[in-house]
Amino acid sequence: MILTVTLNAALDLTYRVPALTPHTSHRVTEVTERPGGKGVNVARVLAALGHDVTVTGFAGGDTGRALRERLAAEPRVTDAFAPVAGATRRTLAVVDAASGDTTQLNEPGPTVTPAEWAAFLDSYEELAHRAGTTAVALCGSLPPGVPVGAYALLIRTARAARVPVLLDTSGEPLRRGVAARPDIVKPNADELAELTGSHEPARATRDARRRGAHAVVASLGADGLLALTPDGGWRARPPKRVRGNPTGAGDSAVAGLLSGLAEGLPWPERLARAVALSAATVAAPVAGEFDPTTYEDLLARVAVTEAVPAST
């Protein structure tokens, strides 16, 4: 069982309009609504790959209830969300059908009280130590009230349980989390530059490893992934640039890395899977999903080459 943590879960709303024009009214042609937040998105992809997943974090209010009701319909996904008094946030994505571009509006999330945070920590520790937990993913932003060092604490708990842990966040939570020595961190290029001060990916990944991460997998958008691990360094690139909606593509890459870790795949195969899933997600008509046929076609053609030396 893989455990994904989404402290700032969301109910994702997607509106599709013929063309998005500021300062005008729009007729929405399609609306979709589903459970969201980075760890929930990761869980959905992992389940589609055949893995059993438990999702945890915070859920509250009418939005939280709607999220959990929809989550119950997801196969292979178990709900272990902790209740909070505040309302789970919503995210609104407006897709411009003419250009394919997406405009995202993200609410801040509920304020978590110290008592709610303490109750979550007890539940998380039990889940991390549970027999059969093979990996943990810590994903996304922190809601108000959660300590900025929250991910560092959760990483140390997973490591105490001898369960590998992946961190996918940004800013100060990422900086503190890296110092707690996660097994994998998966920043995008901007997050990596903010962490290290370097805009040169190879140098930045080396610096991130020196700061504590065992392996760094940097997402470079349409250019694929750059990985520096204890076993070596690689670049993984999609066979072509894929047009579409990038929402959820990074979460699909995380799912690819986690599934490869859980299955014991070597790093080049993990990276190929992550890139193929990410590109297939961009190409999908619904944000954050992927077509299995497209994924398999891309997977066969992902180029993985040695890139960054293992020494730092």
SS (H, E, C) the chain: CEEEEECCCEEEEEEEECCCCCCCCCCCCEEEEEEECHHHHHHHHHHHCCCCEEEEEEECHHHHHHHHHHHCCCCCEEECCEECCCCCEEEEEEEECCCCCEEEEECCCCCCCHHHHHHHHHHHHHHHHCCCCCEEEEECCCCCCCCCCHHHHHHHHHHHCCCCEEEECCHHHHHHHHHCCCCEECCEHHHHHHHHCCCCHHHHHHHHHHCCCCEEEEECHHHCEEEEECCEEEEEECCCCCCCCCCCHHHHHHHHHHHHHHCCCCHHHHHHHHHHHHHHHHHCCCCCCCCHHHHHHHHCCCEEEECCCCCC
**What average pLDDT does range 247-265 have in this prediction?**
94
**Encoding tokens for residue 197?**
């001060």
Give the pLDDT of residue 287. Answer: 65
> Is the pLDDT confidence value at 95 over 90?
no
**Active-site pick, 168, 183, 207, 251:** 251
Q: Are 124 and 154 in contact (CB under 8 A)?
A: yes
Count of C-beta atoms within a 10 Å radius of residue 76: 15
Q: What percent of the chain has pLDDT over 70?
A: 98
d(CA 170, CA 140) in angstroms, rounded, equals: 8
d(CA 75, CA 141) in angstroms, rounded, equals: 25
> Is the pLDDT confidence value at 288 over 80?
no
Q: Are 172 and 195 in contact (CB under 8 A)?
A: no
pLDDT tens digits, 124-175: 999 999 999 999 999 999 999 999 999 999 999 999 999 999 999 999 999 9
Give the pLDDT of residue 309. Answer: 59
Amino acid symbol at 178: V
Give the pLDDT of residue 3. Answer: 98
Give the pLDDT of residue 101. Answer: 82
> Is the pLDDT confidence value at 311 over 60?
no
**146, 37, 30, 129: which is closest to 86 by C-alpha?**
146
Give the pLDDT of residue 159. Answer: 96
Give the pLDDT of residue 252. Answer: 96
Active-site annotation holds for 251: yes
HSE, CB side, 13 Å, CA atoms: give it for residue 65.
3
Give the pLDDT of residue 310. Answer: 47
Confidence of residue 85 (pLDDT cuts 50, 70, 90): very high
pLDDT tens digits, 166-211: 999 999 999 999 999 999 999 999 999 999 999 999 999 999 999 9
**239, 236, 245: which is closest to 218 by C-alpha?**
236
